Amino acid sequence: MKRNDVRNIAIIAHVDHGKTTVVDSLLKFSGQFKVKSDAAQDMVLDSNPLERERGITILAKCTSVDYKGNTINIVDTPGHADFGSEVERVLKMVDGAVLMVDAVEGPMPQTRFVLRKALSLGLRPIVIINKMDKPFASPSKVVDDVFDLFMKLGATDEQLDFPILYASGRDGWASKVMEEKGTDIEPVFETIMTHVPPPFANAEKPLQMQITMLDYSNFLGAIGIGRILNGSVRKGQPVALVNVKNVANPKITKAVRIDKFAGLAKREVQEGKAGDIVAISGLEGVEVGDTVCGIYDVAPLDPLSIDEPTVSIDFLVNDSPFAGREGKFLTSRHLKERLEKEAQTNVGLKVTPLDGEGRFKVSGRGELHLTILIETMRREGFELAVSSPEVIYKEKNGKLCEPMEYLTLDIDSEYQGVIFELVGKRAAKLENMVSEGENRIRLEYIIPARALIGFKNEFLTNTRGEGIMHHSFFDYLPKTNLSDLRTNGVFIAKEHGKTTAYALDNLQTSGQLFVGSGLEVYAGMIVGQNSREKDMVVNPCKQKKLTNMRSKSADDAAVLTPARIMNLEQAVEYIAPDELVEVTPTSIRLRKKALDHLVRKRSSKNESDEE
């Protein structure tokens, strides 16, 4: 039994290889943009403000287009490995995948990551060589590289026989011939209809639908999104939610509302049939991987396998002297509710309460995965403090193992020596080195995940902003010896007050400042980086003494070097284990965990005595 009028596909690619712009072109061609103002908006599926600011897809999203009487359901997936749990789940509800590859860059680390997932599920990808309008495009070389990647990942003969299209998502065209520029994006639709198999679906069998994505509505409650494999479901029908943990005692609930995806919106329908991708509202207690069944025919599907988190950060209630000045949500109750709500829909995230009030360990797939959550919370009005990232260790065959990353660096050859030195002290192992022409080289490493904390800033500084880096999870390997990567101490404010130019002028000769003049600080707050290894308690609020004596040199105004202002990711990467980042809707401050200098001194003395 097949639904010949339906095709379900996922678009997969590396970050910034043009998934979302190609979806824009498909929506425009199918007539989804009726109003000029809609057509003027690029990347319509990147509806989250953070996605639009950063130019990346964070959440997988569904859309649907009509083509010659057929329905094509399209899932736009994230390209960054930190959001890989989104990719893994949505590939379960499609029958085909469109692999997007940049015509200049070729296959990249996340290309390998998402393609491996698709091939392991038996999908036969369609390859689109995108961004053909770039000046240095080399599509024939990229096609060879893609074929080699398929071979390395163990693709079957059927999977290796992939169709190839050449496209420019931004200009809205695709072509089946490398040398010819297309007129529109229709060849993508034609290839999908001929190459992607229709979904197997038997409407006569009992209802079976696996939940692969979650949403939430304040009016309708929990929303489960997935593909109906068998049977059908009607609005208001009682259904059973079952997973491997509660097969004997499934949850009975009701399909309050059923929506299908239609272009940029959802459309309510009375019934969903086998082969459709639908969103069912009112499924209280639903979890990713649950099977929606008929109440008299309980038949759970195999559970979804999702990769475990690799990095954790402690979230704490903000207890600094400035707490409550800038945010709306401050208490441990607010923090607990928000993290629990996030864990319901963000499957790659794990939240564990710690000892003490208002302390939670949040584990995710990477630093970016967690800092996106922190940034979202601060924009919602939360105040909180977060610790430095820690990798999650595992024991394999009696050995302590740590997560390793596959790191790719694209640099100018003139920076080769300094980059070798930079990665060398981080216990990286060189896997491959390729000349890219135009004095560019590509370096590929296997590196401990903890060695990448703070690496990006140093890398961009050493390459003068011209280097490109990407990394994705590789495997758990035996723990390596890694020396402390932060070799500088910090300046710690001695007392509460406002910084003065006079005091900062004296400090900047001994290090780098994080604050400017006239800024309010508190005791225990980090105001700069020391040029030496030890932390130093300083007074950035010191006033100039008034005397009766005057001289021209003494009255010269202090000239301050501009302070180093960090964004959230840089601050989280920078701090040491005994430090925190205070995050509020308007400010990001660095501080010590123990604000009192005497307490810090006593604890460091106790640690040295124990050693």
Question: Checking phi first, is residue 527 left (phi over 0); if not, alpha (psi -120 to 50) or beta?
Answer: alpha
If DSSP states are collapsed to H, E and C, what string results for 48-117?
A: CHHHHHHCCCCCCEEEEEEECCEEEEEEECCCCHHHHHHHHHHHHHCCEEEEEEECCCCCCHHHHHHHHH
CB 101 within 8 A of CB 13: yes
In sequence order, which residues have a C-beta less than 8 Å from that of residue 172 and are 6 or more positions away?
Answer: 25, 28, 29, 184, 185
DSSP state for residue 452 in the 8-state scheme: G
| Rg, C-alpha atoms of the chain | 27
CA trace torsion 507, 511, 515, 520 (10° rounding): -40
CA trace torsion 410, 412, 415, 421 (10° rounding): 20
What integer pLDDT is reported at residue 41 of this predicted model? Answer: 45
Query: What domains are there in the chain, each with its CATH number?
Result: 6-195 (3.40.50.300), 208-294 (2.40.30.10), 394-478 (3.30.70.240), 490-578+590-610 (2.40.50.250)
Query: Rounded to an integer, what distance in angstroms lies between the CA atom of residue 100 and that of residue 428?
Result: 29
Beta bridge partners of 217: 221
What integer pLDDT is reported at residue 315 of this predicted model? Answer: 92
Token digits for 484?
């402390």
DSSP state for residue 39 in the 8-state scheme: H
| CA 580 remoteness from chain centre | 22
CB 516 within 8 A of CB 560: yes
DSSP state for residue 22 in the 8-state scheme: H
Residue ranges of the chain whose pLDDT lies below 50? 34-47, 51-52, 55, 58, 555
Query: Rounded to an integer, what distance in angstroms lies between the CA atom of residue 411 and that of residue 403?
Result: 25
In sequence order, which residues have a C-beta less than 8 Å from that of residue 122 and are 6 or more positions away?
Answer: none
Give binding residues as ranges: 16-21
Query: Rounded to an integer, what distance in angstroms lies between the CA atom of residue 458 and that of residue 206?
Result: 57
What integer pLDDT is reported at residue 607 of this predicted model? Answer: 60
The sheet with strand 511-513 has its strands ordered as 511-513, 526-530, 490-493, 536-538
Nearest to 574 by CA among 449, 459, 486: 486
Give binding residues for GTP as ranges: 16-21
Question: Checking phi first, is residue 427 left (phi over 0); if not, alpha (psi -120 to 50) or beta?
Answer: left
Query: Rounded to an integer, what distance in angstroms lies between the CA atom of residue 277 and that of residue 243?
Result: 20
| 367 to 80, 391, 569: CA distances (angstroms) | 11, 10, 8
What 3-state class would DSSP assign to 259?
A: strand
